[in-house]
Chain A
Amino acid sequence: MLSYVIVEYLITYQETETQLSMAVIVKSERLEFLLETQRNYWRVKLSQIEARNKARAVDQKAMQRLKENYRKWEEQILEPWLKSSQELDKDFQTPSNIKVERVYTPLDIGNFDPVRDAGLPGSFPYTRGVYPTMYRGKPWTMRMFSGFGTPEDTNKRLKYLINHGETGISIAFDMPTLYGYDADSERAEGEVGKCGCNISSLKDMEILLNAIPLGDVSSSMTINAPAAILTAMYAAVGERQGVPLKKLRGTVQADMLKEYIAQKEWVYPPEAHMRIIRDMMLFCTKEMPQWNYVSVSGYHIREAGADAVQELAFTLADGFAYIDLGIEAGLKVEEFAPRISFFFNCCMNFFEEIAKFRAARRIWATVLKEKYGVTNPRALLLRFHTQTSGASLTWQQPINNVVRTAIEALAAVLGGTQSLHTNSYDEAWALPTEEAVTIALRTQQIIAEETGVTDTIDPLGGSYYLEWLTNEMEERAFRYFDKIESIGGVLAAVKAGYLQREIAETAYRTQKRAEEGRDVVVGVNKHVVEEEPPISTLKIDLKVQRRQVKRLKEVRKQRDKAKVAKALQELKNAYKNPDANSMYQILKAVKAYATLGEIVNIGREVFGEWTEPSLL
């Protein structure tokens, strides 16, 4: 019943065939050499892992004693117990289909080497954390993702959060901005300001960041297809505030690979977006050295339905693809790897999430060291932001979401996150109200300051179950890396629809499990109540669109038209020349008040638009 069923009659409508222009990047000899010499890396790694699993424990005598003890326990204690009292009739497994045993003992991790596999905080392989003091030195950055309505609305919310102890800002943009349409575009109708803040030109960005000192705060912008344009706008506002580009700190998501895999907010075909990311990498390395230009994101992969193993594997595979991109562009891995950060989801299966974070750090450091030959420790660190899972929030009995978010946040902290966003309980209904967002922020503050979990580093390290699970997830991730490489890499796997189908398959399985009551969601398929009291939610009305359109018209009237036209023509030329760095022309166009839509459209003319392959 759960078998894979192909929708036999299914059509994906395609617009005109997208013409891939010549402005794509060609694989360089540097990367070819690396790919050639490391062709069997994943296979070699898998056989090492298998050997590790089979290896015998160091202290055979102690192991023998444990085995004897375990056998006796089974015979004398467990079996009689089971005769009179059965275990629950449920599947003991993680959401990634990893079977969970009754109890874990040193026998399950008999080959565990505390030095090789765990290490110490701030030392290879960084399983226990990237810094030697972790939260004893500095708590994680409490960064609440926010944005709605007009730039004025979002500016007010950002300042509210800063005044309530938030330590970094994080901006959400609306759908037209994410897809590169101006507020007055036909495609933006009804969508302006709904899912985030609307930005149509530099003017909006100036208002959004008004009186927020960009020299002091670090900012995160969740934007992908137009990431280079928003980075340029941020830089332009920074300059106006008198902050040199070299001093600007922050992160722009710019992870297009996961857009094709999961979030699906793209404009151009993959090669074109990868080329623009390359330009941004080169620009930032030179001009904005404190700017993290790619935040490799598993969050959206998970929300689209992936399980924890898929999130781990696909995200790190994307990370390696960006490393390859930097090498192609002529950058040294040692120098640019520290500017690549990660962004993970944190769902409800507590231990699986913690194991995921630990495995992620170990895999990243190991592969960078072994496959890419990195020696500089700073370039081995997998630093990440976490957001608690939006998909785990329920529409039903919404106050329960406060509890879910708290548990997920705790797992992220025990997993060693560098920054954290906690969702608000009302987000299955709408964008959060100020009251709900305050509770979400307080949740982090309570974990940081009341629970004591931050007093010692990786307090669950050494747990038989957790170490076993960390190994298990690592191995499963390597199997995916090998599979993805056999398809021809991440881009080929996206074009073949492989990664998208893997996720859709898991999403369907998850939904079926919930429907059959095999996975419990409190308030949805168990402990259901009839009456649902409505909660008050944030409303975005159409006035936002009218205001944004009005401002856009003023911008168009006041700017120097010749200057805009010239900048856009120069950008077009840069896009057509695969060796040019388009980032300088984007910055110029932004400063001339070319609108977001106008700039994105230049790329539409040169690169065409992307249509996804049929998935079902």
Chain B
Amino acid sequence: MAAKSISKRTEQKKIRILVAKPGLDGHDRGALVLCRAFRDAGMEVIYSGLLPTPEQVVQMAIDEDVDVVALSLLNGAHMTAFPRVAELLKEKGAGDIIIVGGGIIPPEDRKKLEKFGITGNFGPGTSLKEIIEHIESRVRKERR
């Protein structure tokens, strides 16, 4: 099943994605698993490494000309760090870069994050498939 969807994707331009943890958070298990999974799904993956500031994440996204920024935080600071990344991208004229999020994000925060254009906001236990499909569908819409 996975092989089939990968071959279909290779017909299009590869998705470039930055996986980033914009804060004081060393919980990188999920981010590292996602890097591998995105790569397996045919994406070009860039990993921020640990402890970048939102400013540094935005600079990386612009320098690397990515389609998507995938933000991960499990330290409860997502309501500060995620919107900051969204605002800075807009300020720098890169508002077209898609932002998705994940971590320990309560349902009530999800709606608030969506107002900043940050979608997904996946919690623990989400399947890789669901995350990948979400990203692919957003990229498809954006490229249309």
> Which A residues fall within an 8 A CB radius of B?
1, 5, 7-14, 175-176, 178-179, 181, 186-191, 194-195, 259, 263-265, 303-305, 391, 394-396, 428-431, 504, 507-508, 511, 515, 521, 524-525, 534, 537, 540, 611-612, 614-616
A614 to B56, CA, bound (A): 17
Stretch at the interface among B85-93, B123-131, B134-142: B123-131
List the 3 closest A-B pairs by CB distance, nearest first: A190-B80, A264-B26, A194-B76
B60 touches A13 (CB 8 A): yes
Roughly how many angstroms separate A265 CA and B40 CA in the complex, as a whole number? 29
- Spell out B's residues near A (CB within 8 Å): 2, 23-29, 32-33, 35-37, 39-40, 44-53, 56, 60, 64, 75-77, 79-81, 104, 106-107, 123-125, 127-129
For the complex, what is the distance from the CA of A276 to the CA of B92, rounded to whole Å?
A: 42
**CB–CB B128/A12 < 8 A:** no
- The smallest C-beta distance from B40 to any residue of chain A, in angstroms, reads 6
Give chain B residues whose Cβ lies under 8 Å from the Cβ of A304: 27-29
Known: A7-B39, A191-B76, A194-B75. 14 other contacts (CB 8 A): A9-B45, A13-B49, A13-B56, A175-B75, A176-B24, A179-B24, A179-B51, A190-B80, A191-B77, A191-B80, A504-B29, A504-B36, A525-B127, A540-B76
B82 to chain A, nearest CB (A): 10
Given A179-B24, A394-B124, verify A508-B36 contact (CB < 8 Å): yes
A534 and B108 CA atoms in complex are apart in Å by 10
Q: List 22 A-B contacts (CB under 8 A).
A: A5-B39, A5-B40, A8-B39, A9-B45, A14-B49, A175-B77, A179-B24, A189-B80, A190-B77, A304-B28, A305-B32, A305-B33, A395-B123, A428-B123, A430-B76, A430-B104, A504-B33, A511-B33, A521-B125, A524-B125, A612-B50, A614-B49
Cβ A10 vs Cβ B35 within 8 A: yes
Contacts of A264 in B (CB 8 A): 26-28, 50
Contact of A7 among B2, B35, B48, B81 (CB under 8 A): B35
Give A163 to B35 CA distance when docked, in angstroms.
46
| Structural contact, A13 and B104, CB atoms closer than 8 A | no
Q: Whole-angstrom distance from the CB of B1 to the nearest CB of chain A?
A: 10
Are A396 and B125 also in contact (CB < 8 A) when A13-B48, A195-B75 are? yes
Q: Which of A186, A195, A534 contacts B107 (CB 8 A)?
A: A534
User: Is the CB–CB distance between B77 and A12 below 8 Å?
Assistant: no
Closest A residue by C-beta to B20: A13
- Supposing A394-B125, A515-B129 touch, asked if A12 and B36 sit within 8 A by C-beta, the answer is no
- Give complex CA distance A394, B124 in Å: 7
Give the nearest-CB partner of B76 in chain A: A194
A370 vs B68: C-alpha distance when bound (angstroms): 55
Please state if B124 and A428 are interface contacts (CB–CB under 8 Å). Answer: yes
The residue that B26 contacts in the complex, of A176, A189, A265, with Cβ under 8 A, is A265
Q: CA A403 – CA B28 in complex, angstroms?
A: 27
> Considering the chains assembled together, what is the distance between the CA atoms of A291 and B72 in angstroms?
37
Contact residues in B for A11 (Cβ distance below 8 Å): 46-47, 64
Residues on the A chain within 8 Å of B39, using CB = 5, 7-8
Residue of B nearest to A1 (CB): B2
Interchain CB contact (< 8 A) of A305 among B29, B35, B81, B124: B29
Tell me the nearest residue of chain A to B16, going by C-beta: A9
B36 & A7 in contact (Cβ 8 Å cutoff)? yes
Tell me, in angstroms, the Cα distance from A9 to B44 when the chains sit together: 6
Q: Give the distance in Å from the alpha carbon of A157 to the alpha carbon of B26 in the complex.
A: 26
A508 in contact with B107 (CB, 8 Å):
no
Q: What chain B residues lie within 8 Å of A521 (beta carbons)?
A: 125
Contacts of A504 in B (CB 8 A): 29, 32-33, 36
Chain A positions within 8 Å of B27 at CB level: 264, 304
The reply to whether B24 and A175 contact each other, CB–CB distance below 8 Å, is yes
Task: Name the contact of B49 in the complex, choosing from A12, A175, A188, A259 (C-beta under 8 A).
Answer: A12
Whether B35 and A616, one on each chain, are in contact in the complex, defined by CB atoms closer than 8 angstroms, is yes
Cβ contact within 8 Å between B32 and A615? yes
Q: Is the CB of B104 within 8 A of A428?
A: yes
